[in-house]
Amino acid sequence: MAIPNGTGSTSSDPTSNQVLGNIEKWIENRDLEKGNNLVVALVGCGNMGSAILTGILAANSVEDARDNTPISHIIACTKTKASASKVYQASKDCKAGDRLAVFYDDNLKAFQLADIIILACKPYMAEEVLGAPGVADALANKLVISVLAGSTTEQLKEFAFKGHSDTKGCSFIRSMPNLGAQIKESQTVVSTAGLEAISPKYEEAMKWIFQSIGQYTYVPDNVFQVAGVLAGCTPAWFLTAFDGILDGAVSEGMKRDTATEILAGSMLAAAKMIQNGEHPAVLREKISSPKGTTIQGLKTIEKGGVRSTYTDATIDSVQHGLNMAKK
């Protein structure tokens, strides 16, 4: 593992040049017919980028799978040396550490070496990252996977290729993982727009990446923003309800840690039953016995307009995302 400096050539880390040299040498000598031969560059190592990196490294750390994964090497890119050091420290003991290089302030070098680029930087940085000199040529015949909220593939192409219709064989795919990626439980949504343009090998690698952090669902591009809200925003909404229920339990005398354990288990059970085919409304009716405590609580919830508030929150979030994409 290494932390090269801005040029990717020297570092205070004594293994820097060795790791970089090993990756470059491996790329020169790799057999393109084999499955385990792709290099991924991950641009941005914040919460989501770090979760994706952790998932890929974990999948490459399993002995039996180590030489059978579609991704062989990973290059993590950060803006600053401090961020690079943080990524390095968090990953240095991983069994797949020999397959990871950490660059800072040198996205171009990573783009040149990689086959697949995952954009996980802040959305406002996308134009700076993709519009930098040399990037358009470096992206030729490669796959760019975006996890950026509010950024359409057309915008990303505009940033990289300055409006030229010739994108040099580069394909862009839009996706939205969620908070669960941190524990390999992400429900990632992936737009089908552009899938027809990528090779089976790249698509297989993309699926593997998303499976390394959870599960994925393909959705048509015209409802991608809706799906993105369902996957990315709703955990925060659920947690708001969760916190309110906890406050009620504590006010009635229960310890917060005990209430948290019980409530989390209840939510998990309900989610699993829905995944098994139960309809939410039917489940709600099954629990609501005549003159029971559940129906009394539901009356209070309905009186507060919670259902319509969640409906409005969904619509407002979708519209906000669509407006972001227009800017």
Q: Where are the domains of the chain?
A: 16-225, 232-326
Q: What is the DSSP letter of 13?
A: S
* pLDDT at res. 14: 41
DSSP 192-205: -TTGGGS-HHHHHH
Task: Give yes or no for residue 36 having a pLDDT over 80.
Answer: no
Lowest mean pLDDT among 1-5, 55-59, 72-76, 237-241: 1-5
Backbone φ and ψ for 318, nearest 5 degrees, come out as -60, -45
- Copy the structure tokens of residue 217: 């669902």
Strand partners for 75: 41, 101
Q: How confident is the model at residue 85 (pLDDT cuts 50, 70, 90)?
A: confident
pLDDT of res. 90: 81
Half-sphere exposure of 155 (CA within 13 A, CB side): 19
Each residue's pLDDT tens digit, 154-181: 999 999 998 788 889 999 999 999 989 8
Higher pLDDT, 103 or 215: 215
**Amino acid identity for residue 266 in this structure:** S
First to last CA, the chain: 39
**If you average pLDDT over every residue of the chain, what do you get?**
88
Query: What is the structure's pLDDT at 327?
Result: 67
Helix (H, G, I), strand (E, B) or coil at 221: helix
> Which tokens belong to 236?
């925060």
What CATH class does 16-225 carry? alpha beta
Whole-structure pTM value: 0.86
Domain 232-326 sits in CATH at 1.10.3730.10
Q: Residue 179, Cβ neighbours under 10 Å: how many? A: 18
